[in-house]
Amino acid sequence: MSALLFSLILLAAAAHATPIKRDSITTVCVQFQLSPDGHTFACSPQPGLGQGQVTIGLANCIQNNDGVLIASGGGFIDTCDTVVLSGTSLSAHCISVGAGGIREGSSVDLDEILNFENGQLSCPNGFE
């Protein structure tokens, strides 16, 4: 098979491939849960959008930035405690070096951080 014909076949196959579908978790999930240790987020997708409950570890998705939770490469688990989920709002008490090392309350909306792609949860910018 010639290289040109092979390339044309690959292009035709790619044109018919299923595109990656990204949705916010509030448009896909009907129920949200947080593990007792606050490290894992779970959601139950609407019927037809996924098989059972899907989960993601939050350790690599959220960072404590001097007492403020942000979407980043992670690390909040080591410096935050009292992690609570209310709807899609994740709150915790995190160490703030700028405030003399005391713990400050902070929250972040997981709907702005997590994506639902092809039946799986994912973090921004490929953090996982």
Domain membership flag for residue 43 = yes
Contacts of 73 (CB under 8 A, 6+ apart): 60, 63, 127
Domain membership flag for residue 75 = yes
pLDDT for the residue numbered 119: 83
Residue 85 pLDDT > 90, yes or no? yes
When divided into structural domains, the chain yields a total of 1
Domain membership flag for residue 94 = yes
Does 3 or 14 have the greater pLDDT score?
A: 3
Mean pLDDT, residues 80-108: 93
Q: Which region among 22-26, 65-69, 98-102 has the lowest average model confidence (pLDDT)?
A: 22-26
Domain membership flag for residue 27 = yes
Domain membership flag for residue 54 = yes
> What's the pLDDT band for 123 if we cut at 50, 70, 90?
confident
93, exposed or middle or buried, with CB in 10 Å at 0-12, 13-18, 19+?
middle
CATH number where 117 lies? 2.30.60.10
Domain membership flag for residue 52 = yes
Domain membership flag for residue 17 = no
User: Tens of pLDDT along 32-82?
Assistant: 999 999 999 999 988 877 778 999 999 889 999 999 999 987 889 999 999
Domain membership flag for residue 59 = yes
**pTM summary value:** 0.76
pLDDT for the residue numbered 98: 84
**CA 17 to centroid of chain Cα atoms:** 25
- The DSSP bridge partners found for residue 56 are 41
Residue 92 pLDDT > 90, yes or no? yes
Q: What's the domain range around 96?
A: 22-126
- Interatomic CA distance for residues 95 and 125, integer angstroms: 25
Residue 6 pLDDT > 80, yes or no? no
